[in-house]
Amino acid sequence: MNKDLIENIGDNHISTNIETPLLPNAFDKSDDEKIENIKHHFAKIMEELGLDLTDDSLSGTPYRFAKMYVKELFYGLNPKNKPKLSIFENKYKYKKMLVEQNITIDSSCEHHFLPITGHAHIAYIPKDKVIGLSKINRLVDYYAHRPQVQERLSLQILKDLQAVLNTKDVIVMISAKHLCVSSRGIKDKDSFTTTIEYDGEFNNELQRNEFFGIVNNSST
Ligand SMILES: Nc1nc2c(ncn2[C@@H]2O[C@H](COP(=O)(O)OP(=O)(O)OP(=O)(O)O)[C@@H](O)[C@H]2O)c(=O)[nH]1
Ligand SMILES: [Zn+2]
């Protein structure tokens, strides 16, 4: 464990903040400016590793890397990219659980910047509002495309859905493999991580078990 982590725990710097830690000026620069700066820094990293950037296969890598970070892997850092969530009136008075399952998780671990891949399963019990199904997948994709820890990813999704759906009755389960565990360090190829966050009706074990039953038994 690194020294900063031990010191943070020792100093009781534990808060309930689920926001991704961002600098106040995080979005002062345009995407193009960020790409230009990251390209420059990544070229330096490659050179430090001893790579010859005049090679025709390597010369475009700093730009490719920078564009991938800003526009693809970490597009979810910038609130301007947050998906618009279509919310509809629950005219049909559907009051039972709705489950959106096998949602692809493509994320990156904030400690090593290596992939986290797996699936999310999400359910809610509607009150007066329902959400367009694809918007659940889009919200997951947005929060996943940040440097993340799985616990915070689960909570960010949960809190947003609770807010837009005006209900506490939401459950978010994520099972994912962390390449920082499987491909470096301990190199455990088989283990994966499951997080479960919920509130409202899902505090009831019967309700949770109904959700787990659907997630474990259904396919399309
Ligand atoms: N809680 C949590 N930890 C994570 C997540 N992703 C990666 N980690 C862990 O973050 C920890 C970082 O610990 P350090 O000791 O600073 O890093 P390290 O020396 O690279 O640790 P090893 O992976 O054990 O080699 C590691 O134990 C990772 O497995 C996550 O989503 N949640
Ligand atoms: Zn990691």
Is 13 annotated in some ligand binding site? no
ipTM more than 0.90? yes
114 CB within 6 A, ligand 1: no
Give the global pTM.
0.92
Active site annotation includes 121 = no
**Closest Cα to atom 4, ligand 1: which residue?**
149
Q: H or E stretch including 194? A: strand 193-198
Which one of 3.40.50.2300, 1.10.286.10, 2.40.30.40, 1.10.1040.10 gives the CATH number of domain 28-73?
Answer: 1.10.286.10
Residue 108 bridge partners (DSSP)? 115, 147
CATH 3.30.1130.10 fits 87-217, yes or no: yes
> Hey, where are the domains in the chain?
28-73, 87-217
Task: Give the pLDDT confidence of 87-107 residue by residue, as tens digits.
Answer: 999 999 999 999 999 999 999
Asked if pLDDT for residue 10 goes beyond 90, the answer is no
Question: What is the CA angle 23-173-131, rounded to 5?
Answer: 80
Active site annotation includes 100 = no
Q: How far is CA 66 from CA 107, 167, 181, in A?
A: 17, 39, 25
Is 112 annotated in some ligand binding site? yes
